[in-house]
């Protein structure tokens, strides 16, 4: 389907995409670039990319598919460094976890060429990062959300949709704004809470003793706290407005609990927990998003 | 080892204990009582107990091992209703998730007989409750914390330890106060947060749409929100002082994150996430507490 993938960012997400795309026969050749030359070299040694590019621009040169798999804060700089070589024939996509900032960066950096760029968020990942953990199965069966804007070319959207489907993904579309509000609630705030709780416990004099007693409930609750700091730094800042809005909702819900606990209002407290327990017990993971 | 187990509370924890104790040859006969007669009947039909007792007192009569498996707030009333038939030969244990309130209730209700009672917290459970989910494997390999007080008889502590070991548990001891501080941090606060987050999202106009997009990170983070409302109502109230103390630590850690996010202080934010990520990545579940 594509002759050459220009991969910018050879980490877990980018590397896994390259492996999956090659395996699916979606691309013939992968030219990869990472900010750190040793990562690019390692990606080639591991067979994740075929050719090392010394710059993002050179990864784009001659490619008909370009994937940005960089921390979201690097989106604008990356676009600026490659825009001179972007052609109308190219499909440009990203895999960022936030979309409003990515779309804004694309508008500013790509200007007239923004219609070739289809903003994408594949709902997948792992708590480990780096090209060493690249996995051809990372995208298989996973949901991918496209967040096109008015200027995104319909043809490119269709091409992006077909591309993800070729990797076994289930594709849906929403606005960048809706996307960011939803992910602030279901992903970014939970990560922030998990980070804060780990620091809260580990920072106490008896923190290590406490942690040594923690069981499977804690294990699952805190799993996302082990996520990649650099990526999450960018996500939390990029989506800070929606995150702050979700934080207000959360603090309000928490305060309700605290008041009832302090007042020993057993019945009202049980009712509040029942709401939560029911909501969680009836929730089902989107098929494929395992 | 014991002739008769007097089981007070035939739910998930009590029912599973009865099944495990019978299977391990620890008890010959189980006489069970639940507040709801239909639960007691169901427990007998399912073979979890051998004999239905019409009252807690009658479950105790003739038993040499008594297990309280009731919500922690019911501890004092339960002790009061059985104390007349407690004898020095009996070993009395519980399985409550909080220990300071249980020990206080035992002191008040049992008075001179308090030395026969060994407060126990097996670190196990499931997100489903009820005798229908009783599982002979629930305790196997799990940690059990004993929180004896000065008046607890050494002989009874040793007996309780041997009993749990016979079920394949790994037994340790700590003070009720240390226990409650630790579990406020690693269990009670995470549950409270998970409850509040579910209510926060589900209560928003677009909450269901948001939840439909949630992935595996959210699944694991929110799993404990499905826990039993009645049990958790009691735990949160029983341990409210330590919980409030942990909440202060958590809110402080959260505020640190919020400040750095609002100020866009990327480096300091990444450092804070790295602390959390490192603490979680190096944490290991206590062997057996799977």
Angle at B85 between CA B79 and CA B89, to 5 degrees: 100
**With 60 as the cut, is the pLDDT of residue B86 above it?**
yes
Which residues, 6+ apart, have CB-to-CB distance to A63 below 8 Å? A2, A3, A4, A5, A6, A31, A90
Classify residue B289: in a domain, yes or no: no
Classify residue B238: in a domain, yes or no: yes
Classify residue A61: in a domain, yes or no: yes
- Per-residue pLDDT tens over the stretch B29-55: 999 999 999 999 999 999 999 999 999
pLDDT at B287: 59
- Per-residue pLDDT tens over the stretch B55-80: 999 999 999 999 999 999 999 999 99
**Domain with B136 in it:** 2-174
Is any Cβ of chain B less than 8 angstroms from the Cβ of A282?
no
* Euclidean distance between CA atoms B129 and A151, whole angstroms: 53
* Euclidean distance between CA atoms A271 and B266, whole angstroms: 41
pLDDT at A139: 97
* Euclidean distance between CA atoms B116 and B96, whole angstroms: 17
> Are B56 and B41 contained in the same domain?
yes
Classify residue B152: in a domain, yes or no: yes
* Euclidean distance between CA atoms A107 and A247, whole angstroms: 29
Contact B150, B177 (CB under 8 A): no
Q: How many domains does chain B have?
A: 2
- Per-residue pLDDT tens over the stretch B191-206: 999 999 999 999 999 9
B-facing residues of A in 54-93 (CB < 8 A) are 73
Classify residue B287: in a domain, yes or no: no
Least CB–CB distance from A190: residue in B197, B261, B279: B197
**With 50 as the cut, is the pLDDT of residue A290 above it?**
no
pLDDT at B290: 43
Side-chain-side CA neighbours of A273 within 13 Å: the count stands at 26
Nearest residue to B261 (alpha-carbon basis) of B245, B279, B273, B243: B273
Q: Report CA-CA distances (Å) from B153 to B5, B6, B79, B112, B244.
A: 20, 20, 18, 12, 33
User: At A236, which helix (H) or strand (E)?
Assistant: helix A229-238
Residue A287: band (very low, low, confident or very high) from pLDDT cuts 50, 70, 90: low
> Are B224 and B162 contained in the same domain?
no
**With 50 as the cut, is the pLDDT of residue A123 above it?**
yes
Residue A126: band (very low, low, confident or very high) from pLDDT cuts 50, 70, 90: confident
> Are B92 and B143 contained in the same domain?
yes
Residue where one domain finishes, among candidates A122, A156, A175: A175
Classify residue A287: in a domain, yes or no: no
For strands A117-118 and A91-94, give the pairing.
parallel
Residue where one domain finishes, among candidates A175, A207, A223: A175
Chain A residues touching residue B256 (CB < 8 angstroms) = 196, 199
In the β-sheet with B91-94, what is the strand arrangement from edge to edge?
B51-52, B27-33, B2-8, B65-68, B91-94, B117-118
* Euclidean distance between CA atoms A283 and B214, whole angstroms: 10
A-facing residues of B in 197-256 (CB < 8 A) are 197-204, 206-207, 209-230, 232-234, 236-237, 240, 243-244, 246-247, 249-250, 252-254, 256
Read off the pTM: 0.86
> Are B97 and B166 contained in the same domain?
yes
**With 80 as the cut, is the pLDDT of residue A197 above it?**
yes
pLDDT at B108: 97
Contact B3, B29 (CB under 8 A): yes
- Is the sign of the CA dihedral B240, B242, B245, B251 positive or negative? negative
Residue A288: band (very low, low, confident or very high) from pLDDT cuts 50, 70, 90: low
Residue B288: band (very low, low, confident or very high) from pLDDT cuts 50, 70, 90: low
pLDDT at B289: 52
> Are A140 and A251 contained in the same domain?
no
Residue where one domain finishes, among candidates B174, B205, B228: B174
Instruction: Point out which residues pair with A31 in neighbouring strands.
Output: A6, A51
Q: How far apart are the first and last CA of chain B?
A: 28
> Are A233 and A219 contained in the same domain?
yes
> Are A129 and A198 contained in the same domain?
no
Q: How far is A66 from chain B (nearest CA, A)?
A: 26
Q: Which of B140, B217, B224, B269 to mutate to test the interface with A (most CBs of A within 10 A)?
A: B217
**With 80 as the cut, is the pLDDT of residue B286 above it?**
no
> Are B92 and B128 contained in the same domain?
yes
B-facing residues of A in 114-143 (CB < 8 A) are 123-125, 127, 143
Token pair 């924890």 is found at B13
Nearest residue to A179 (alpha-carbon basis) of A154, A208, A144: A144
Q: Given phi > 0 = left and psi -120 to 50 = alpha, else beta, which region is A4?
A: beta
Chain A residues touching residue B225 (CB < 8 angstroms) = 276-277, 279-280
Q: How far is CA B278 from the centre of its chain?
A: 29
In the numeric block, which tokens belong to residue B111?
A: 């008075």
DSSP reduced 3-state for A253? helix
pLDDT at B129: 86
CATH (domain of B201): 1.10.3660.10
* Euclidean distance between CA atoms A117 and A102, whole angstroms: 10
pLDDT at A284: 87
For strands A120-122 and A143-146, give the pairing.
antiparallel
Classify residue A288: in a domain, yes or no: no
> Are B204 and B95 contained in the same domain?
no
CB contact under 8 A, B281 and A127: yes
Residue A195: band (very low, low, confident or very high) from pLDDT cuts 50, 70, 90: very high
> Are B120 and B191 contained in the same domain?
no
A-facing residues of B in 167-186 (CB < 8 A) are 178, 181-183, 185-186
In this prediction, residues A81-110 reach a mean pLDDT of 96
> Are B19 and B163 contained in the same domain?
yes
Count CB neighbours of A208 within 10 A: 12
Residue B128: band (very low, low, confident or very high) from pLDDT cuts 50, 70, 90: confident
In this prediction, residues A140-162 reach a mean pLDDT of 97
* Euclidean distance between CA atoms B67 and B70, whole angstroms: 9
DSSP reduced 3-state for B214? coil
Which residues, 6+ apart, have CB-to-CB distance to A41 below 8 Å? A52
Residue A1: band (very low, low, confident or very high) from pLDDT cuts 50, 70, 90: confident
pLDDT at A289: 52
> Are B126 and B222 contained in the same domain?
no
Largest pairwise CA distance in chain A: 68
* Euclidean distance between CA atoms B180 and B239, whole angstroms: 7
Nearest residue to A103 (alpha-carbon basis) of A93, A66, A266, B227: A93
CB contact under 8 A, B198 and A275: yes
Classify residue A166: in a domain, yes or no: yes
Chain A residues touching residue B258 (CB < 8 angstroms) = 244, 247
Contact B224, A275 (CB under 8 A): no
In the numeric block, which tokens belong to residue B158?
A: 């040793």
* Euclidean distance between CA atoms A36 and B107, whole angstroms: 65
CB contact under 8 A, B193 and A193: yes
CATH (domain of B109): 3.40.50.720
Q: How far is CA A67 from the centre of its chain?
A: 13
């Amino acid at each position: 389907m594509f002759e050459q993938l220009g991969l910018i960012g050879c980490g877990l997400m980018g590397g896994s995409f390259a492996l999956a795309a090659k395996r699916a026969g979606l691309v013939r050749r992968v030219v990869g670039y990472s900010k750190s030359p040793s990562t690019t070299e390692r990606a080639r040694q591991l067979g994740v990319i075929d050719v090392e590019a010394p710059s993002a621009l050179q990864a784009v040169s001659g490619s008909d598919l370009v994937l940005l798999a960089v921390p979201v804060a690097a989106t604008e700089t990356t676009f600026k460094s490659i825009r001179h070589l972007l052609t109308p024939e190219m499909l440009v996509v990203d895999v960022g976890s936030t979309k409003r900032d990515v779309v804004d960066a694309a508008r500013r950096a790509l200007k007239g060429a923004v219609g070739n760029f289809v903003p994408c968020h594949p709902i997948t990942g792992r708590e480990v990062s780096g090209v060493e953990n690249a996995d051809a199965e990372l995208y298989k069966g996973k949901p991918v959300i496209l967040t096109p804007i008015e200027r995104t070319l319909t043809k490119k959207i269709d091409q992006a949709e077909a591309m993800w489907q070729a990797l076994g993904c289930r594709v849906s579309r929403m606005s960048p704004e809706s996307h960011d509000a939803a992910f602030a609630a279901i992903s970014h705030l939970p990560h922030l809470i998990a980070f804060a709780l780990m620091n809260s416990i580990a920072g106490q004099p008896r923190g290590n003793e406490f942690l040594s007693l923690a069981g499977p409930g804690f294990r699952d609750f805190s799993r996302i706290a082990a996520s990649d700091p650099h990526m999450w730094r960018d996500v939390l800042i990029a989506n800070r407005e929606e995150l702050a809005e979700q934080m207000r909702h959360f603090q309000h819900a928490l305060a309700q609990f605290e008041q009832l606990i302090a007042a020993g209002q057993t019945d009202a407290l049980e009712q509040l927990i029942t709401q939560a327990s029911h909501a969680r017990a009836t929730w089902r993971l989107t098929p494929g998003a395992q």
